[in-house]
Amino acid sequence: MTYTKRTEKWVDDLIEDHMKVICDEVKTSIPQVRSIVLTGGFAKGEGSAVIYPNNRQVFPVNDYDIYAITDNPIPLNTLVNLSKKITQRIGAPSFSLFSGSDHSFYVDLRCLTVGRLKHLPPLIRYFELRNTGRTIEGENLLPEIPDYKISEIPIMDGIRTLFNRMGNLVTYFSPSGIKNNEFDNKNFLIYSCHKCLSSCGTVLLLLSRNLKLSDSDNLDMIRKIYPHQFPHLHKQLPDLPNKIKLSTNFLLIPDFTEIKNPVDLWFTTRDSMGLVLQYCVSKVLDEEPCNYQNWSQFSHKVNINLGKNYLSPFLRELIKGYIGVMPNKLITSWTSVLTTLYINFLQTYEIKNQIKCNTLKPLLSPRTPDLNLYSAIPLLLYSIDRRANIDRRMLDIATNYLSRVYPIGQETISDPKIYWEYLRARFTMGLRLFLSSVITKT
């Protein structure tokens, strides 16, 4: 088994065969599909794969990112089941973000309607979809997506990227693995760490309005501008560009055998990500960079201060896309309140529908589920030290945020390690419910 970038023709041929399988199954299950689009690393020619030379099998290290563009929305269950069917037909172990499988490869199939394309908000993923997406079947509808400039993508989207990556540091880690270097899915933990470090470069380039479409171009740019554009970070993390380079290269050609100590990698990633996150949050809040030693205080700032205008940058552009002019602060503010209520209603309904639990906490929360999850992430990550000691007080505060996203039982867990694992599971399940409720309805 080897890991490689797509350099050999037979590897490219097998990946193209996978694309044919994807198109065949999507067209069969969704006859009304107008377009099938590949995005992500494989669309840019930068995807990496695991290769089994003996039987000439190839699978992506992580996933294929696929969008089905249709006239009408497709139910999430249809997309999830179709993803499983495609993965099985390709011959890889089935994985679903919503089923909790341990396997790391899956087909990430999402749906966008034709009518929604022209109103997509200015997010990094839609910027890349329009500019690097590859139509593998049907009409080329990508030009319908607004031609946003980098300067129009809110920095808040970069902060969301950092938090989403850091969430994987919670999901795939366990304090019990610190002493023996063993984890349920060690390779995906390693992969997630490198995704985190690589994303630091992406977000800093977005912050400086220098983000490019190619990973190699972004590497060159971050090394060029980092010392003088980010002197505060450069003083604390002088080797960050080198870490970003090593992680980006790893993602292009992964070699998990080189990582002897994933625990060290996890702590290094966590600490680097924390400093970058604090820096970016301070910039969004128009404050001087500040390094919080008290992560409870930082989480509070994220939930309260950042939360006040969390949705506004995205809603302004969405409203502008519909009415043709930039809305004033009052309209944006009221739209933000109504959007928060709607998203919280979806989360509350999903909890009742999926796990048969009646709770009003998500509905009554002043923040959306994702922001409550983001507020809990630093508390979970930084409650652990390198000796596997856990700060119970930080877990209690994290519980307060998580209970607004997913029901937390009343049972008392005295062992901090077991309590951390319990909260990790609730964090992961709350995130899955949020994604399953929002992806097809907002």
Percent of all residues in the chain with a pLDDT value above 70, rounded to a whole number: 89
Q: What are phi and psi of 123, to 5 degrees?
A: -115, 155
| Per-residue confidence (pLDDT) for residue 56, from 0 to 100 | 58
Q: What is the mean pLDDT of residues 289-296?
A: 82
pLDDT higher for 338 or 412?
Answer: 338
Q: Which residues contact 382 (CB under 8 A, 6 or more apart)?
A: 270, 274, 295, 394
Measured distance CA(80)–CA(111) in Å, rounded: 11
| Per-residue confidence (pLDDT) for residue 386, from 0 to 100 | 93
| 61-94 pLDDT tens trace | 667 899 999 999 998 889 989 988 998 888 765 4
Measured distance CA(442)–CA(122) in Å, rounded: 15
Report the chain's mean pLDDT, rounded to a whole number: 87
| Per-residue confidence (pLDDT) for residue 409, from 0 to 100 | 79
Position 256 pLDDT exceeds 90: no
- The helix or strand, by DSSP H or E, that contains position 37, with its residue range, turns out to be strand 35-39
- Band of pLDDT at residue 98, cut at 50, 70 and 90: very low
| 259-275 pLDDT tens trace | 889 999 999 999 999 99
Count of C-beta atoms within a 10 Å radius of residue 100: 12
3-state secondary structure 418-441: HHHHHHHHHHHHHHHHHHHHHCCC
Q: What is the mean pLDDT of residues 337-344?
A: 94
Measured distance CA(58)–CA(230) in Å, rounded: 40
Q: What are phi and psi of 305, to 5 degrees?
A: -75, -50
| Per-residue confidence (pLDDT) for residue 16, from 0 to 100 | 86
Measured distance CA(416)–CA(51) in Å, rounded: 40
Closest CA to 223 of 242, 209, 210: 242
For the chain, counts of helices (H) and of strands (E)? 18, 7
Domain 2-144 top-level CATH class? alpha beta
| Per-residue confidence (pLDDT) for residue 104, from 0 to 100 | 53
Distances (CA, A) of 345 to 335, 366, 409: 15, 12, 21
| Per-residue confidence (pLDDT) for residue 215, from 0 to 100 | 84
Token pair in block for residue 20: 């044919």
Measured distance CA(424)–CA(390) in Å, rounded: 13
pLDDT higher for 14 or 263?
Answer: 263
| 32-70 pLDDT tens trace | 999 999 998 888 877 666 666 555 566 676 678 999 999
- Band of pLDDT at residue 99, cut at 50, 70 and 90: very low
| 365-379 pLDDT tens trace | 999 999 999 999 999
Token pair in block for residue 60: 């992506």
The listed range with the strongest mean pLDDT (9-13, 252-256, 401-405) is 401-405
Closest CA to 77 of 104, 125, 109: 109
Measured distance CA(403)–CA(359) in Å, rounded: 10
